[in-house]
C-alpha cells in the first residue's frame, strides 16, 4: 500500500512517515500543496494524508482538485483547526476523515486501516465479471449488459470498455489508452482514440439517462457515474 503524505512541518512529516513505514506502508512526502498536487495527480495512491494549512496551495483547495480526478482515493486531513465548522469544511472539500493535531500515531494507524478496508473502487471484480453502476461486462462470454439490456460491442470496443471500467473514476489520457488498449504510442496527428470513444458512447450512454463516459478537456477521459 502506498500513501502520499502532504505536510509542511518536516518534524511532523518525519514522525508520521516513520510510523507508517513501521506498519509496512510505502510513504511519499510532499512539503507544500503544489508538490502535493503534482504527486497526487501523477498516479492513484492507496491513501492520501494532508495538512490543511499548506504553502502554495492550501489543503482544502488541493482536496477539491484531487477529487476532480480521483473520486474514491481515501483522504485524511490533519489540522490544528478543530471546530465543528472546520471539520464540516474539510468534509465538504472531499475528505473522508479528519484528525486534529496533536494526535497519537496509534489513532492515525486505526483511521488509515479503517479507510483502506473500505472498498472505494466502485468496480466489483467478480472473477470474469466486472460491474459498475448498472453496467456489467462478462469477460468469459464477451457480453455487455446495461440495465438488463444487452449491448453489442466489437472486440476493440470491448477491450476499451474493460480498460475504462478497471480504471474508473480517474482521468485516462489518450496516450495511456493507446498504449494499454492498442499497444501503440499515441500519434497526435490522429484522432482514432476519440473515434472509438464516440463509438462506445453511442452504445453505452446514448439510450440511458446517466452518462458513464466523460471528456476532461485537455486531459483525456474519465469513466464514472454522475
pLDDT, one tens digit per residue, over 145-155 is: 998 899 999 88
Residue 102: asked if its preceding bond is cis (omega within 30°), the reply is yes
In this predicted structure, what is the pLDDT of residue 67? 84
Record the pTM. 0.56
49-97 pLDDT, tens digit per residue, is 999 999 999 999 999 999 887 777 889 998 887 666 777 777 788 888 8
Q: How far is CA 177 from CA 146, 167, 174, 199, in A?
A: 23, 11, 5, 15
Task: Provide the sign of the torsion angle of the four alpha carbons 184, 185, 190, 191, taken in this order.
Answer: positive
Question: Can you tell me the distance from the alpha carbon of 32 to that of 93, in angstroms, rounded to the nearest whole number?
Answer: 18
Answer whether 76's CB lies under 8 Å from 45's CB. Answer: no
| Residues paired with 131 in a beta bridge | 124, 136
Given this model, what pLDDT does residue 192 score?
80
**CATH for the stretch 2-117:** 3.40.50.2300
According to CATH, where is 1.10.10.10 located in the chain? 124-223
Integer-rounded Cα Rg, in Å, for the chain is: 20
Statement: residue 102 has pLDDT above 70: yes
Second-level CATH architecture of 124-223 = Orthogonal Bundle (1.10)
Q: Which residue, chain included where needed, has cell 482538485? A: 65
The neighbouring-strand residues paired with 48 are 4, 75
Q: For the residues of 147-205, what is the DSSP string, one character each?
A: TTEEE---HHHHHHHHHHHHTTTS-B-HHHHHHHHHSS---TT--HHHHHHHHHHHHHT
Alpha helix positions (H), 70-104 = 84-93
For residues 81 and 73, the answer to whether their CB atoms sit within 8 Å is no
Q: Which grid coordinates are listed for 23? A: 506498519
Residues of the chain with CATH 3.40.50.2300: 2-117
Amino acid at each position: 500500500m502506498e500513501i502520499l503524505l502532504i505536510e509542511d512541518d518536516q518534524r511532523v512529516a518525519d514522525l508520521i512517515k516513520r510510523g507508517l513505514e513501521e506498519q509496512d506502508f510505502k510513504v511519499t512526502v510532499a512539503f507544500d500543496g503544489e508538490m502535493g498536487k503534482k504527486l497526487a495527480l501523477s498516479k492513484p495512491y492507496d491513501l492520501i494524508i494532508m495538512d490543511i494549512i499548506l504553502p502554495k496551495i492550501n489543503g482544502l483547495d488541493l482536496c477539491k482538485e484531487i477529487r476532480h480526478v480521483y473520486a474514491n482515493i481515501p483522504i485524511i486531513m490533519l489540522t490544528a483547526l478543530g471546530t465543528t465548522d472546520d471539520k464540516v469544511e474539510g468534509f465538504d472539500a472531499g475528505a473522508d476523515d479528519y484528525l486534529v493535531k496533536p494526535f497519537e500515531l496509534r489513532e492515525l494507524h486505526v483511521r488509515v486501516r479503517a479507510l483502506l478496508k473500505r472498498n472505494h473502487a466502485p468496480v466489483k471484480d467478480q472473477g470474469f465479471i466486472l460491474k459498475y453502476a448498472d453496467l456489467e461486462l462478462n469477460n468469459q462470454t464477451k457480453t455487455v449488459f446495461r440495465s438488463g439490456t444487452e449491448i453489442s460491442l466489437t472486440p476493440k470496443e470491448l477491450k476499451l470498455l474493460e480498460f475504462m471500467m478497471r480504471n474508473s473514476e480517474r482521468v485516462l489520457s489518450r496516450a495511456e489508452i493507446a498504449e494499454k488498449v492498442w499497444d501503440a504510442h499515441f500519434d497526435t496527428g490522429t484522432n482514432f482514440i476519440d473515434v472509438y470513444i464516440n463509438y462506445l458512447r453511442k452504445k453505452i450512454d446514448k439510450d440511458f439517462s446517466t452518462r458513464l463516459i466523460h471528456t476532461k478537456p485537455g486531459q483525456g477521459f474519465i469513466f464514472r457515474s454522475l
